[in-house]
Amino acid sequence: MSDFIPVCTPLLGGNEIKYVTDAVSTGWISSSGSYVSKFEEAFSSYCGVKYGVAVCNGTVAIHLALAALGIGKGDEVIIPSFTMIATAFAVCYTRAIPVFVDADKDTWNIDVTKIEEKITSKTKAIIPVHIFGNPCDMTKICELAKKYKLYIIEDAAEAHGAEYDGKKTGSFSDIASFSFFANKNLTTGEGGMVITDNEEYFKNCRYFKNMCFPVDAPRVYSHEDIGFNYRMSNLHAAIGLAQVEKADEYRAMRIKNAKRYMKNLSDCPGIIFQKDQPNGLNVHWMNTIVINPSEYGHSKDELINHLKDNGIDTRFLFVSMNHQKSLKDYGCDCSGNYPVTDWLTENGFYLPSASNLTEKEIDFICDVIKGFRK
Ligand X SMILES: Cc1ncc(COP(=O)(O)O)c(C=O)c1O
CB of 179 to ligand X, least distance (A): 3
CB-wise, 157 or 304, nearer to ligand X? 157
Residue 98 phi, psi dihedral angles, 5° rounding = -75, 140
CB of 321 to ligand X, least distance (A): 12
CB of 4 to ligand X, least distance (A): 22
CB of 79 to ligand X, least distance (A): 10
Sequential DSSP letters for 177-198: EEE-BTTSSS--BS-EEEEES-
- Strand order across the 163-164 sheet: 167-168, 163-164, 280-281
In our burial notation (b when 16+ CB lie closer than 10 A, e otherwise), range 317-343 reads bbbbbbebeebeebebebeeebebbbb
User: How far is it, in rounded angstroms, from Cα 124 to Cα 126?
Assistant: 7
Q: Give the chain's length.
A: 374
Using CB under 6 A as the criterion, which residues of the chain lie in contact with ligand X when the complex forms? 57-59, 83-84, 86-87, 129, 155, 157-158, 179, 181, 192
CB of 235 to ligand X, least distance (A): 16
Q: In sequence order, which residues have a C-beta less than 8 Å from that of residue 51 and are 6 or more positions away?
A: 40, 44, 195, 196, 197, 198, 199, 202
CB-wise, 57 or 257, nearer to ligand X? 57
* Residues designated as active site: 184
CB-wise, 57 or 196, nearer to ligand X? 57
| Closest residue by Cα to residue 103 from 125, 77, 132, 76 | 132
* Three-class DSSP category at 67: helix
